[in-house]
Structures are given as C-alpha cells and as structure tokens.
Structure 1
Amino acid sequence: MCRNLFTLLTALILSFLIPVSARAFDLLPIESAGLDLGVGYRSDKLDWSISNESDGGSPDILSELTWDNLHILQLQGTGWLELGELPFLRRNSLLIATISLGKIYSGDAQDSDYARDGRTHEWSRSVSDADHGMTADFSAAFGPIFELKKAPGLSVTPLIGYAFNMQALKMSDGEQVISDSITRQQYFPTAGLPPPVGKISGLDSTYTAYWYGPWLGLNTDYQVSKKFKMTAGIEYHWVDYFAQADWNLRSDFDHPVSFEHDANGTGVVWNFKGRYLIDEKWSWLLKGNIQRWKTNNGTDRTYFDDGTVGNTRLNKVTWHSYALTTGLEYLF
C-alpha cells in the first residue's frame, strides 16, 4: 500500500505544481518564477514515551518507542513566484510552496518497558526492522523581499507560512531481547507476562505521526556571481501533533486503531540552497535541510478490545531529520 501511495503522491508533485504555476501567470503580477524537482537522501529519528498515569505517575517512563537510523529516499518539488508590487505592499514579494515525499528503505525500531522511574528496572525490550513506510511534507509561505542597498546582491525575506508533515512508520521482523517476568509480576501483578526472548512471529505494527501548523521564518539570498546564488533560511513552527497506531500483536487492543496521541509542540527548520545557472532557463540545485521538533506533554488514548478507553500521559515526542537533495530548476 505504501508503495502505491508513494507512486501516487510522486505524480501529484508534477500534477499540482505545474498547473498552479501556469495559472498563476494569468492572475498575479509576476516578475519571475521557478519550478524545481530533485531527489536526495534523508535520515530521521522519532522517539516517544508515556508515563504510568495521566498526571505523570510512577514510573515516569512506562513505555518508550524509538525509530532510529531511518534511511529515506526523498523526492522534492518546489514552485516559487516573485511578485511585483501588490496593493498592500510597496515592494516585491515571494510566494513559495514545497512538496516532499520519502520512501523509507532502512531503519531500526526499539520498544522498551520499565517498572521504575528514570528508565530503571527494564522488564521488556524488543527490537525490529523499520525498513518500510513513507514520509510526506508540504509547506507554503509568503513574504516581502527586502533588497539591501548597502550590500549589493543581498536580500532578506521574512516569511509567514503553514506546514504539514507526516511519517508513516512500521515495525516488522521483531526480536525480544529482554523478558523479565519476575520484575513484571513484582510491579504489575495483574498484567500479563512479556513474550519470551527470541523471534517475534507476525509483527506488523504501524505508527503514523502528523505535525501541522503555522510558522514564521526568514530567508537570506546572496548573489555570489552571475551564475551562482546562495540561500539560507530558518523557520520556527507551532504545531499540533496527532498520531495513530496499530499494535497488531496486542490482542487486548482494538484494531486498526490501538491508541492515539495528541499534543502541542514546536519545531525549528534550517534550510540551505545553492543554485548554479546552466543557461537562461535551467539551473542546478543543491539543497540541505536540518529539522528539530518536539512536543509538550500530551495524551495517550488507548482503545481496548472490550470497548473501553484508557488515558495516560504522553511525555513528549521528538523528531530529528537531516536531508540533502540535488536537482534541476526551470526558470520561467
């Protein structure tokens, strides 16, 4: 399913950006425009944990999930328009939108459970492959362009935008590496025993995370020479976080939605781009991207197979990402 969705969304990059850019020429006072498409490598890490009670009781970390070393093949498309003076602005402005799609081809996941505070008395740990899944990102922004007269070739653009980010993560081919039934029964006498050490048969669990909300940022452009231009940008995001999971081997959980996460958070994104002009219409691009996201405390809502619902505290979610992309840009 992820493969078909990845193919579909890849086609949407072209089917969305190209027609929108073409129609914009007829509707807006456009000074210049560009459309680029690139492919690259991305590395992600996502981690979350929950406590034993909704108010953060002991243990403070009951369960912790980590997806690490996620290696991702990413396709990215960007369309931008430099607009002439608008009725509410006395200077040129930038309108920009970016879509990124990624296919996870390698990664690791770890699920740990603890009986005491501070990640102590670990009574269960399983590791698994995370080499399936996908990512999708969309961001759009608008802002006025300020040319710095005392620094020829240098301009700054404050931006206001909105972004949506998604990670569809999976766990398969699992192995139980810690199984301490004595500790489990000592601290949780009414709960079931952990699986025995060894291979976990039939593991096919999913966790899909969504980050969405407004952001403010600043782009700085410097025309190094007639052919080479550099751009550096920073964005600060305010996000709502929502996630759904299907823990397929937990017979006491409901399916296909075993639990949900809700929280608010923030993110910081650094962008870097170098553009080398090949001819009047085409440029070669190299882009870099660093992202740091985290949530505040939130809610973990678990759905059981008997129809009951349990709530506990989601401690926090963190997401780190690095990406490097290269491609071509067409200048209209």
Structure 2
Amino acid sequence: MVLNNHYVYFAVNKIKTDMLIALRISFIKPFLACLTLFLFYQTVSAQDNLHKWEVKPYAGIQQSRFDWSIAGNAAGTSPNVLSELIWKNLKGPSFGLDIKYNITERLSIKAANQYSSITRGEAEDTDYAEDNRQSAFYFDLLNANKGYLYDANLQLSYQLLKFGDFNINPIVGLSYNQQKFHLLESANNPDSKGLNSTYVARYKGFDFGAELVLKMQKFSLGATVLGGFYTYSAKANWNLIPDFAKPVSFTHKANSFSLSGDINLAVPLNKSLRVEVDYKINNINTYSGVDKAYFNSRSTEETQFNGASFRKNALLLGLNFSF
C-alpha cells in the first residue's frame, strides 16, 4: 500500500506539471501572436507615414550658349576650321515637371522633364581660309530669338550613407536632350532676308553621380553632380543655299560627355508641401566626328566635324507636393 501510494503521488504530480506546461504553452502562443500582430501593425504604420509620391512643377529662366565647327576635309585640314557657328546670349523661360516615387525608405526613382523656350539670342556665322581661324572670308551676325531646349531623364537613387542629418545618395540614370537653334534674318543685313535655317541636336545616353543632402528641421540643402556619356546626332536645314538639299542639308554624328550640377534649397510649408529653389548648370562637350553634306546636283560629301559645346544655366522656383 505504501508503494502504491508513492506511485499515486508521483502520478498526480506529473499530471499537475503537464497541466501547468500546457497552460503556459496555451498562454504563450496567443501572447506571441498578439506581439507579432502588434509589430506588424507598427511596421505598416511606419510605412504608411512614408510619402510614396512627390510631384514638383516648376518654372524659371535660362541662359545658354552653343557652338560647333567643321574642317575643310575628312582629315581635319585645309583648313582645320573651315566654318563655325556660335549661338550666344540665348535666353528664355523654362518650365518643368519632376515625378518621384519612393520605392522604399532608401530607394527611389524619378522622371524629370524640362522645356526651355529661346526668345532672345544672336548667332555668329564665320568661314575661314587658313588654319586656326585665320583669314576670315565670310562673317555674319544674325538673329537667333527662336528655338527650344528639351531635357528628359529617368534616375534611380539610393541612400547609401547617412550621418545624422547628412545623406549621400548615388544616382544612375538615362538621359535624352534635344535642342533646336535658328538662324534668322537680321535687319542690319539685307542679304539675310527670308533666312530661317535650323539646326536640331540630340543627345542620348546615361548619367552617373551622387546627391548630397543636408536635412534640417526648417529647411534642406542639396547638391547634385552628374557625369554623362552620350551619343550626339544633329541635322540642319540651310534654307537659303540652293545647292543644299532640303529638309536635311547636312548631318553631324559624334560622342559627348556631360557634366551637370544642381543646388537645391527646400523649405517645408507643411508635411506635404515644400517650396524649392534650384540653380542648375549643364555643360556638354562633343568630340570630333563626321559631317555629311547633302546636295541637289552632286554626291554626298564628308568632312571632319570638329565638335560642339553647350552651356546652360537656369534658376528655377517650384512646389513639391508629397502624398
């Protein structure tokens, strides 16, 4: 009987222990489930507080300059600069729209478009008989108060480093730029009556660089530097020269390198709206390539395209809407 009571005692204690373990397990499982739901809710709430979209319309003014030249033959000689065109003091209004999508807190993609109208400007057309721009035998100063500049790009940005309020964000992207310049009749030159020649240039390629951002409570200050490798193509319509074919009188093909920058000041008005001021610069250098001239009564001729250079500065004011 004593032995049997001993077994009964241990059997009862084991049942109690198993019941306590079962009760603890049954309590822990709902507790863990509730904790998981709570953490998930907090994560979702934090993501909801992140604005996914940013839309920024803006407007401002731009000033630009563009030039190109060709040699006398395909070898780049006779002379090394035969004809040179310089468009300078080109001014006009600029309008743009940037749309940004924040994929995650660190990764974002942005599509940007900017259109600038040329409403003021002048152009110099010079031909030389000897090397190094010597012995000019033709010169004309013409109106160039017509045309446009169009820039479009798609950029992927990632917040790589964060030091307190300071961020470093590498950027890669695709770019397309198109420009149309005019040569128009000048009141000082009767021979230019009816002149309306055009030169359309296109740049296509990719950009790489970084954005540096300092975010403070009352404002943020950003600086972006980008380099770009582009293919360059251009076509011209010289409407007053009878020997040239129309609408394509000659074409240019080459490669280009771009260096651009943007300084941005943003002041928040509330959680969803900021006022932003941008100062943008863009320099594109185009290397030597091929000039092809098309004629009405003779075969196509090739000479060396010596290259081109483009410079633009723009001051822009915009509103950034976040949602």
Residue 49 (1) aligns with residue 69 (2): yes
CA deviation map 1:207-258 (0-9, x unaligned): 00111101111001111x2231111011000010000100000100000100
Distance in 2 (alpha carbons) for counterparts of 1:314 and 1:228: 47
Q: CA deviation at 1:29?
A: 10
TM-score normalised by length of structure 1: 0.80
Q: Which runs of 4+ in 1 moved over 2 A?
A: 28-33
1:172 is matched with which residue? Answer: 184
- In structure 2, C-alpha distance between the alignment counterparts of 1:226 and 1:71, rounded to whole Å: 36
Asked if the contact 1:30–1:81 (Cα under 8 Å) also holds between the matched residues in 2, the reply is: no
Q: Kindly provide the CA deviation profile for residues 125-179 of structure 1, in whole angstroms up to 9, marking residues without a partner as x.
A: 111111111111101111321242xx31111111110111111111112378xxx
Return the alpha-carbon distance in structure 2 between the equivalents of residues 327 and 198 of structure 1: 44
2:198 to 194, 206, 210: 206
Match for 2:111: what amino acid? A
Note the residue ranges of structure 2 that are not aligned, 5 or more in a row: 1-46
Residue number in structure 1 paired with 2:13: none
Tell me what 2:214 maps to.
Answer: 222
Distance 2:260 2:108 in 1: 19
Shift of 1:102: 1.1
* Equivalent position to 1:70, from 76, 82, 90: 90
Query: Which of 125, 129, 135 is 1:121 aligned to?
Result: 135
> Alpha carbons of 1:82 and 1:147: their partners in 2 closer, same or farther (altered >3 Å)?
farther
Measured in 2, the distance between the counterparts of 1:222 and 1:156 equals 9
Change (3 A) 1:226 1:117: same
Q: Which amino acid aligns with 2:257?
A: T
Shift of 1:82: 2.2
The whole-number CA distance in structure 1 between the counterparts of 2:64 and 2:280 is: 12
The one-letter amino acid of 2:194's match is: G
TM-score by length of 2: 0.82
Partners of 1:323 and 1:31 lie apart in 2 by 31
Following the alignment from structure 2 to structure 1, what is the Cα–Cα distance between the partners of residues 104 and 194? 59
User: 1:293·1:318 contact (CA, 8 Å) conserved in 2?
Assistant: yes
Q: Is the 8 A contact 1:31 1:83 kept in 2?
A: no
- After superposition, residues 207-286 of structure 1 pair within 5 angstroms as 207-223=199-215, 225-286=216-277
Give the distance between the partners of 2:84 and 2:155, measured in 1 at CA.
35
Using the TM superposition, give the Cα deviation of residue 199 of structure 1 relative to its aligned residue in structure 2, in angstroms: 4.2
Q: Alpha-carbon deviation of 1:83?
A: 2.0
Question: What is the aligned-residue RMSD (CA, Å)?
Answer: 1.8
Q: CA deviation at 1:295?
A: 1.2
CA drift of 1:65 comes to: 0.3
* Residues 138 and 29 (structure 1), Cα distance of their counterparts in 2 relative to 1, 3 Å cut: farther
Q: Which has the larger radius of gyration?
A: 2
2:165 maps to which of 146, 153, 157: 153
Counterpart code for 1:73: P
Aligned residues: 276
CA 1:63/1:36 → structure 2, altered by over 3 Å: closer, same or farther?
Answer: same
Of 72, 81, 86, the residue aligned with 1:61 is 81
> What secondary structure sits across from 2:277 in the alignment?
strand
Matched, 1:138 2:161: no
The whole-number CA distance in structure 2 between the counterparts of 1:253 and 1:29 is 62
The residue type equivalent to 2:204 in the other structure is Y
The Cα offsets for residues 56-114 of structure 1, whole Å up to 9 and x where unpaired, read as 112100000010000021001111122227xxxxxx21211110011111001111000
Q: Which moved more, 1:107-116 or 1:167-176?
A: 167-176
The separation in 2 between residues aligned to 1:35 and 1:166, in whole angstroms, is 23
- Tell me the equivalent position of 1:330: 321
Report the CA distance between 1:279 and its aligned residue. 1.4
Aligned to 1:106: 120
Partner of 1:11: none
The whole-number CA distance in structure 2 between the counterparts of 1:136 and 1:313 is: 27
Aligned to 1:5: none
Q: Which has the higher helix share?
A: 2
One-letter amino acid of the structure 1 residue matched with residue 192 of structure 2: I
In 1, Cα distance between equivalents of 2:271 and 2:109: 21
Distance in 1, Cα, partners of 2:267 & 2:197: 44
Q: List gaps (5 residues or longer) in structure 1.
A: 1-27, 86-91, 177-196
Whole-angstrom CA distance in 2 between matches of 1:133 and 1:215: 25
